[in-house]
Amino acid sequence: MTSKSLLTGNVNCNDDGKNYFFKVEALQKTGSFKFRGALNAIKSELETFQGTSMPVVTHSSGNHAQALALASKLASTAAVTVTATIVMPNNAPMVKKAAVEDFGAKIVMVENTNEAREEEADRIVATTGAVFVHPSENPRVIAGQGTVCLEFVEQVRELNAGVDLDLVIIPVGGGGLASGNLVCLRGLLGNKVKIVLAEPSELDDAKRSFQAGELLKHRPDNELNSVADGLKTTLGPNTWPIVRDLADDIITVSEEEILIATKLVWERLKMAIEPSAGVGVAVAKSAEFHQKYPKSSGIENVGIILCGGNVDILKISAMMKELGL
């Protein structure tokens, strides 16, 4: 909400004697951390770009689409115009299309399959020479997402009399946020910091991959019925090795735990986060987390990345009410 969209808080969300700090990426431009990676990718490309109009393209119906659209607009200069094309499934909500168009990006609609989206993006790259900016696999996107913890670590030090975070919880979907910040945190704090990835049980590809030691997709029978829709994508060849080598742990949580945690953040922190961001808080409140990381283990200062705030509150509220929350 401030010009740098930075906000750090210190709120006890558990009665476990630990301090909890929240990095509220819901306040980032376009309502999620995705803007960081998109802007970094575009600005990096511009450094070596020769010409007056640089086309970029991606496929996304979610937060990355808006982020790339706005980043293209803001990165355009008097010398170079960045034009974004977003490939979207034809069942994407009107409100998401409108947001992308408001930022001046062009939308190309395709059938709602991964193949159709990828084919169309490939076709646009081949015919226009556009730069393809993958939502999570692009190395410059990964690096951009890593600026979350670059700020987080500094802000917590400042708030907390120089004391560092002992543990950071990061939601994981496609793994751009997770891998960027794993690299960032190991660089800044080495092995002094524990890093726990947070994932819905319904979308547990990262946890299953981590346990198996090899990159796995979603279970074939998985219907991807999670309220944490921002985390439906899976790890890929660039994000997986970073997760495998640098994460300490992956903890999964149920749909009910996610909704309870999301409601808690709405009520206590007064932040209207999306359920994907509630996943990290749900992990902090889980029995597994308390067992593994009690205060007696030296884990006192815990950071949680609240990754986004693009949420249909009336819809999620109705789900909470049905559950009797």
Task: Cite the active site residues.
Answer: 34, 61
Tell me if 7 contacts a copy of itself by CB under 8 A.
yes
Tell me if 320 contacts a copy of itself by CB under 8 A.
yes
The first and second tokens of residue 278, run together, are 């509630």
Instruction: Find the shortest distance in angstroms from Cβ 105 to a copy of itself.
Output: 19
- What contacts 153, CB < 8 A, 6 or more positions away? 164, 165, 185, 188, 189
Provide the mask over 133-152, with x wherever binding to a copy of itself is found by CB under 8 A and - wherever it is not: --------------------
The backbone region for 33, taken as left when phi is positive above 0, alpha when psi lies in -120 to 50, beta otherwise, is alpha
Tell me if 24 contacts a copy of itself by CB under 8 A.
yes
Residue 177 or 183: the one with the smaller Cβ distance to a copy of itself is: 177
Residue 31 or 180: the one with the smaller Cβ distance to a copy of itself is: 31
- What contacts 13, CB < 8 A, 6 or more positions away? 20, 264, 265, 268, 281, 284, 285
Q: In one letter, which amino acid is 6?
A: L
Tell me if 3 contacts a copy of itself by CB under 8 A.
yes
Give me the sheet containing 19-24, strands edge to edge.
Answer: 8-10, 19-24, 301-306, 167-171, 194-200, 249-253
Instruction: Find the shortest distance in angstroms from Cβ 56 to a copy of itself.
Output: 25
Provide the mask over 246-275, with x wherever binding to a copy of itself is found by CB under 8 A and - wherever it is not: -----------------x--xx-xxxxx--
CA distance 257 to 274: 14
Instruction: Find the shortest distance in angstroms from Cβ 184 to a copy of itself.
Output: 22
- How many residues touch a copy of itself (CB under 8 A)? 30
DSSP state of 130: P
Tell which positions 29-68 bind a copy of itself, by CB under 8 A: 31
Half-sphere exposure of 23 (CA within 13 A, CB side): 30
Tell me if 191 contacts a copy of itself by CB under 8 A.
no
The first and second tokens of residue 73, run together, are 């607009």
Site of interaction with a copy of itself (CB under 8 A): 1-3, 7-11, 22, 24, 26-27, 31, 159, 263, 266-267, 269-273, 309, 313-314, 317-318, 320-321, 325
